[in-house]
């Protein structure tokens, strides 16, 4: 029998900047759903992509001094790489600059004009438009702010093609009425219903003053409004051509079972999109699933606000699973949630390292040490754990099916607690040496291992890397992803199975150190070239995936030997123990011209005061007089200098470095220092002769 199909999409991402944790949230959630559905026997198509047209891309490219195409080519790669790093199992990726997509968009509008001749008409538009959210903010020229981001809309006055949305009001209300599951969660569905009930205005679906877009068929002075263009990607990405000559993938997977997205773009999906499809005579998606925002420092995480956390450093320090687990466990899906790196590390240590990881390791080690690595017999008549596990599996399934991921995970971790409790109660380690207890102890370990197998299968969609490892350590063969959650039954672990080598899958991390490492890497993403890796604190960590990553602690202002500047011929950038340790985190310096060097503004500074920063072992907050002002600079020199010995000292300050925050404290510059060898301490650059604060160093 062929498998039932399931088609899920994320929004396609604006390719004007790199993704942050907030944007990755949608993709991670969809990946969890896609994996889960596969494990329930569905044939899943999962699409994402990049939204590459529109004025925001045009302007971002202009700012970067590149063409729009160059900009989107660069950013599209960043998205693809991130999805790979996060273990995202998409089956398709669509870029709106692809010819197959442009054709689909043009054909959709042609089809609409043919089937619903009144649906599209031309009219002069005058109103306000938000270039960041691509939203028509108001239909009058008076100043108006964007409802999504709050920024002022720009005046647009031009002839446009309009879509007669007003004619679809009743049809949309009928759709909502006949399909009460159309939008999740309910409270957002109610908002949409009220919006539609209050009356719909026709919307412009073309732009004349913009060049970077898909040309309107037979009227190339116009390009498509980006949302009409972007929404069509859900179909073009799986082979839609024109509704008559579509590819097999489209025929198989359309309509989408789920379009998932953040709350700010519900209206486009739950109002405009179904209306566009109705007018084109195409089947409607089955469900719109909307999540809340990830907030950071109390506001929506967004690049324009500067309050973003990036996924890559988190994955490098804690592993992919930790980020995925945290996002699903900590946030109530559908509502806004706070993102905090501290909470993320706490969850990692408590639930993953000390919870599942530690439990699996203890049980498997006991089986390894006492039963020759062979899964012992189950003797017990006490079926409490089996019943609990079965009950938990069913409850978890109900939570998952209603998109309550946090509760889904709580159920699984409830099972982990029950096994912990069983071990505390039965104390197998204390009894195993007694020959008459061996069989009973073996049975306890069987129960524990079988419950771990259950937890591993259920948790796999959320934490795929570690669960696959535990699966192998349990002596199971094949991909855990191929195991069926819906067929999971107690007793699947066979007595006599040879287990694998027990190994920890979630190394516990030191909170302070992990935070510092994440922040350093994030600063490097924000201001490329701004991280100042310090060989004295460089550590090589094994991530949860077992990958070895050379990274360095944050807040270090020391320039390591071998880094650009250290050991420069004229010695103007500070001394170095030339030829000593190479720094793994820094590529061999390329030669730069004097004009590049001249970009760095260096000045003599005199330290006015210095103090430690709470919670950061390596950082000092240094107030330094640079002639015309006193600057606050954070330097990772606490292991080398006591704060009081710095006061009055002359130092070299990089004064034109972009400000950055570490531990929430702003640093406005950098102190130059040298260090030698992996354990070398930072040695500040200073002057033997007298020189006033503010003098230029060159
Ligand atoms: N390009 C449009 C979507 C077109 S779909 C036909 C777009 N792109 S986006 O890059 O701005 O957003 C992509 C996804 O990231 C959306 O689901 C959005 O809600 C999500 N998020 C971006 N920032 C977010 C948070 N801070 N928190 C949670 N999700 C957020 O919109």
pLDDT above 50 (res 190): yes
Q: What does the pLDDT read at residue 551?
A: 28
For range 664-670, the mean pLDDT: 84
Q: What does the pLDDT read at residue 679?
A: 60
pLDDT above 70 (res 487): yes
Q: Does the CA dihedral 200-205-209-211 come out positive or negative?
A: positive
Centre of ligand 1 from the C-alpha of residue 147, in Å: 15
For range 132-137, the mean pLDDT: 88
For range 624-629, the mean pLDDT: 87
- Give residues with Cβ within 8 angstroms of 497, minimum separation 6: 374, 375, 474, 475, 476
pLDDT above 60 (res 324): yes
Q: What does the pLDDT read at residue 591?
A: 64
Phi, psi for residue 239 in degrees, rounded to 5: 100, 15
Q: What does the pLDDT read at residue 199?
A: 97
pLDDT above 60 (res 329): yes
The answer for 560, left when phi > 0, alpha when psi is -120 to 50, beta otherwise, is: beta
Torsion of CA 476, 477, 481, 486, to 10 degrees: -60
Q: What does the pLDDT read at residue 618?
A: 81
Centre of ligand 1 from the C-alpha of residue 540, in Å: 34
pLDDT tens, position by position, 23-73: 999 999 999 999 999 999 999 999 999 999 998 899 999 999 999 999 999
Residue nearest to atom 12 of ligand 1 (CA): 13
Give the residue among 250, 249, 283 at the shortest CA–CA distance from 179: 283
Q: Rounded to an integer, what distance in angstroms lies between the CA atom of residue 193 and that of residue 186?
A: 10
For range 203-209, the mean pLDDT: 93
303 pLDDT tier (thresholds 50, 70, 90): confident
Our mutation pick for probing the ligand 1 site, out of 8, 13, 304, 338, counting the most ligand atoms within 8 A of Cβ, is: 13
Q: What does the pLDDT read at residue 545?
A: 26
Q: What does the pLDDT read at residue 585?
A: 30
Centre of ligand 1 from the C-alpha of residue 98, in Å: 21
Ligand 1 site, CB within 6 A: 11-14, 22-23, 25-26, 51, 230-231, 233, 261-262, 264-265, 293-294, 300-302
630 pLDDT tier (thresholds 50, 70, 90): confident
Q: What does the pLDDT read at residue 561?
A: 30
The answer for 92, left when phi > 0, alpha when psi is -120 to 50, beta otherwise, is: beta
Centre of ligand 1 from the C-alpha of residue 19, in Å: 9
DSSP secondary structure letters along 243-262: SSS--HHHHHHPSPSEEEEE
Q: Rounded to an integer, what distance in angstroms lies between the CA atom of residue 594 and that of residue 446?
A: 70
pLDDT above 90 (res 613): no
Contact 87, 464 (CB under 8 A): yes
pLDDT above 60 (res 556): no
Ligand 1 atom at minimal distance to the Cα of residue 263: 19
pLDDT tens, position by position, 95-111: 999 999 999 999 999 99
Q: Which residues of 482-510 are buried (b: 16+ CB within 10 A; e: fewer)?
A: ebebeebebeebeeebebbebeebbbbbe
Give the DSSP H/E element, type plus range, for residue 206.
strand 206-207
The half-sphere exposure of 490 on its side-chain side, counting CA atoms within 13 A, is 17
Q: What does the pLDDT read at residue 600?
A: 84
Residue nearest to atom 3 of ligand 1 (CA): 11
- Give residues with Cβ within 8 angstroms of 632, minimum separation 6: 621, 622, 623, 665, 666, 667, 668
CA 223 to chain centre: 32
Ligand 1 atom at minimal distance to the Cα of residue 26: 17
398 pLDDT tier (thresholds 50, 70, 90): very high
Phi, psi for residue 606 in degrees, rounded to 5: -120, 125
pLDDT above 90 (res 570): no
pLDDT above 60 (res 587): no
- Give residues with Cβ within 8 angstroms of 384, minimum separation 6: none
Centre of ligand 1 from the C-alpha of residue 331, in Å: 17
Q: What does the pLDDT read at residue 147?
A: 86
Higher pLDDT, 450 or 296: 450
Our mutation pick for probing the ligand 1 site, out of 265, 304, 337, counting the most ligand atoms within 8 A of Cβ, is: 265
Paired tokens of 563: 């880094």
Q: Rounded to an integer, what distance in angstroms lies between the CA atom of residue 584 and that of residue 637?
A: 20
- Give residues with Cβ within 8 angstroms of 207, minimum separation 6: 55, 156, 158, 160, 213, 222, 223, 224, 225
pLDDT tens, position by position, 435-454: 999 999 999 999 999 999 99
553 pLDDT tier (thresholds 50, 70, 90): very low
Contact 138, 153 (CB under 8 A): yes
What does the mean pLDDT of the chain come to? Answer: 88
Residue nearest to atom 20 of ligand 1 (CA): 23
For range 458-478, the mean pLDDT: 97
Q: What does the pLDDT read at residue 580?
A: 27
Centre of ligand 1 from the C-alpha of residue 228, in Å: 16
pLDDT above 80 (res 11): yes
Q: Rounded to an integer, what distance in angstroms lies between the CA atom of residue 312 and that of residue 34?
A: 22
Q: What does the pLDDT read at residue 595?
A: 61
Residue nearest to atom 8 of ligand 1 (CA): 13
pLDDT tens, position by position, 347-373: 999 999 999 999 999 999 999 999 999
For range 138-158, the mean pLDDT: 90
Among 285-294, 304-313, 671-680, the range scoring the smallest mean pLDDT is 671-680
Centre of ligand 1 from the C-alpha of residue 269, in Å: 12
Q: What does the pLDDT read at residue 557?
A: 29
Centre of ligand 1 from the C-alpha of residue 187, in Å: 20
Residue nearest to atom 15 of ligand 1 (CA): 23
Contact 19, 13 (CB under 8 A): yes
Query: Which pTM value belongs to this model?
Result: 0.78
């Amino acid at each position: 029998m062929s498998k039932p199909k399931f088609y899920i999409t994320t929004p396609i991402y604006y390719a004007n900047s790199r993704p942050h944790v907030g944007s990755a949230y949608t993709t991670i959630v969809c990946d969890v759903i896609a994996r889960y559905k596969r494990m329930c026997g569905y044939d899943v198509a999962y699409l994402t992509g990049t939204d590459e047209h529109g004025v925001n891309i045009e302007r971002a490219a202009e700012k970067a001094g590149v063409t729009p195409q160059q900009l989107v080519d660069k950013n599209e790669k960043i998205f693809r790489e991130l999805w790979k790093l996060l273990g995202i199992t998409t089956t398709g990726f669509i870029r709106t600059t692809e010819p197959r997509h442009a054709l689909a968009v043009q054909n959709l509008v042609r089809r609409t004009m043919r089937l619903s001749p009144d649906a599209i008409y031309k009219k002069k538009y005058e109103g306000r438009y938000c270039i960041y959210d691509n939203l028509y903010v108001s239909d009058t020229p008076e100043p108006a702010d964007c409802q999504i981001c709050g920024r002022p809309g720009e005046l647009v006055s031009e002839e446009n093609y309009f879509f007669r949305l007003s004619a679809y009001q009743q049809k949309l209300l009928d759709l909502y009425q006949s399909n009460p599951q159309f939008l999740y969660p309910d409270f957002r569905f109610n908002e949409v219903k009220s919006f539609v009930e209050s009356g719909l205005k026709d919307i412009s679906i073309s732009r004349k003053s913009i060049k970077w877009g898909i040309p309107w068929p037979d009227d190339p002075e116009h390009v498509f409004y980006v949302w009409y263009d972007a929404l069509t990607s859900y179909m073009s990405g799986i082979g839609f051509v024109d509704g008559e000559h579509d590819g097999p993938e489209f025929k198989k997977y359309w309509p989408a079972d789920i379009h998932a997205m953040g709350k700010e773009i519900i209206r486009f999906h739950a109002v405009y999109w179904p209306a566009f499809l109705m007018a084109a005579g195409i089947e409607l998606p089955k469900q719109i699933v909307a999540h809340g925002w990830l907030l950071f420092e109390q506001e929506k995480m967004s690049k324009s606000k500067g309050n973003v956390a990036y996924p890559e450093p988190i994955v490098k320090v804690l592993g992919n699973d930790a980020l995925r687990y945290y996002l699903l466990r900590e946030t109530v899906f559908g509502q806004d949630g706070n993102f905090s790196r501290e909470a993320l590390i706490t969850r990692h240590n408590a639930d993953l390292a000390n919870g599942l990881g530690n439990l699996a390791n203890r049980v498997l080690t006991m089986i390894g040490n006492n039963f020759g690595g062979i899964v012992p017999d189950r003797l017990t008549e006490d079926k409490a754990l089996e019943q609990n596990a079965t009950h938990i599996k069913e409850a978890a399934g109900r939570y998952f099916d209603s998109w309550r991921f946090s509760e889904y995970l709580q159920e699984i971790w409830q099972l982990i607690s029950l096994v912990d409790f069983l071990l505390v109660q039965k104390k197998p380690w204390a009894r195993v040496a007694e020959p008459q207890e061996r069989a009973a102890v073996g049975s306890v370990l069987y129960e524990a291992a079988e419950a771990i197998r259950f937890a591993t299968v259920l948790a796999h969609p959320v934490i795929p890397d570690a669960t696959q490892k535990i699966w192998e350590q349990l002596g199971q063969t094949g991909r855990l992803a191929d195991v069926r959650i819906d067929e999971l039954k107690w007793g699947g672990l066979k007595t006599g199975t040879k287990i694998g080598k027990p190994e920890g899958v979630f190394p516990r991390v030191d909170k302070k150190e992990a935070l510092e490492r994440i922040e350093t890497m994030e600063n490097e993403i924000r201001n490329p070239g701004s991280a100042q890796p310090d060989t004295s604190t460089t550590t090589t960590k094994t991530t949860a995936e077992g990958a070895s990553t050379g990274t360095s602690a944050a807040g270090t202002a020391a320039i390591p030997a071998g880094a650009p500047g250290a050991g420069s011929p004229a010695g103007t950038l500070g001394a170095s123990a030339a030829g000593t340790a190479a720094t793994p985190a820094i590529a061999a310096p390329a030669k730069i011209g004097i004009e590049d060097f001249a970009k760095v503004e260096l000045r003599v500074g005199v330290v006015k005061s210095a103090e430690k920063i709470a919670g950061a072992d390596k950082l000092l907050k240094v107030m330094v007089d640079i002639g015309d002002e006193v600057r606050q600079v954070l330097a990772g020199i606490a292991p080398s200098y006591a704060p009081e010995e710095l006061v009055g000292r002359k130092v070299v300050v990089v004064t034109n470095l972009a400000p950055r925050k570490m531990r929430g404290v702003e640093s406005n510059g950098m102190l130059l220092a040298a260090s030698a060898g992996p354990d070398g301490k930072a040695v500040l650059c200073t002057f033997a002769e007298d020189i006033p604060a503010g003098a230029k160093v060159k």
